[in-house]
Amino acid sequence: MVLAAASGKGVRIENVIPTHLEGIIAKLTEMGVPMDIEEDAIFVGEVEKVKKVDIKTYAYPGFPTDLQQPLTALLTRAEGSSVITDTIYPSRFKHIAEIERMGGKFKLEGRSAVISGPVQLQGSKVTATDLRAGAALVIAALLADGETEIHGVEHIERGYSKIIEKLSAIGANITRSSAAETKL
């Protein structure tokens, strides 16, 4: 859903259970992401302006820690400062240095990351260190001007089946140039 919001296009996501996604639906709605919720599908519409939000992760049924990294990338587009606090994995901010290479503005404060925006990310060479960081970098690449080269894509492919085909289907200009990198 975060990637759909970053894509700049309306995207329909099928075979979902919306009641299992209430936390992310609530935060994306707060961020100004238009959505149509159906029984087993969600349509994520085009986002005109991303609004700042503060997020604190908790164990289920709280806001999932797995989503803080992808949201970090999208929040680079928000007006003002957003704060993400990870109460579960406070060291899960390795992706921030990579998004900073793309022009993201962050400040780490203990278990929290302050994201200042909006900024226009620029394509760069970045490295995914794990699955969630890889997802954040893919989202950042979709938001960026220019080409982004992502190394460490094996982390991304481990968790996201047919990611290149799926991104191409929503209009991303993506290629895999070797076993170690993907260009967006």
21 in a structural domain: no
106 in a structural domain: yes
Q: Read off the DSSP letter of residue 59.
A: S
This prediction has a pTM of: 0.92
What is the pairing mode between strands 125-127 and 112-117? unpaired
Residue 84 belongs to a domain with what CATH number? Answer: 3.65.10.10
Domain count, the chain: 1
- Residue 131's domain spans which residues? 51-183
Of 93, 155, 87, 85, which is closest to residue 127 (Cα–Cα)?
A: 155
Q: Report the pLDDT value the prediction gives residue 90, as an integer from 0 to 100.
A: 81
**pLDDT tens profile 43-68:** 999 999 999 999 999 988 889 999 99
65 in a structural domain: yes
22 in a structural domain: no
Q: Report the pLDDT value the prediction gives residue 182, as an integer from 0 to 100.
A: 60
100 in a structural domain: yes
Please report which confidence band the pLDDT of residue 121 belongs to, taking 50, 70 and 90 as the band edges.
very high
**pLDDT tens profile 124-165:** 999 999 999 999 999 999 999 999 999 999 999 899 989 999
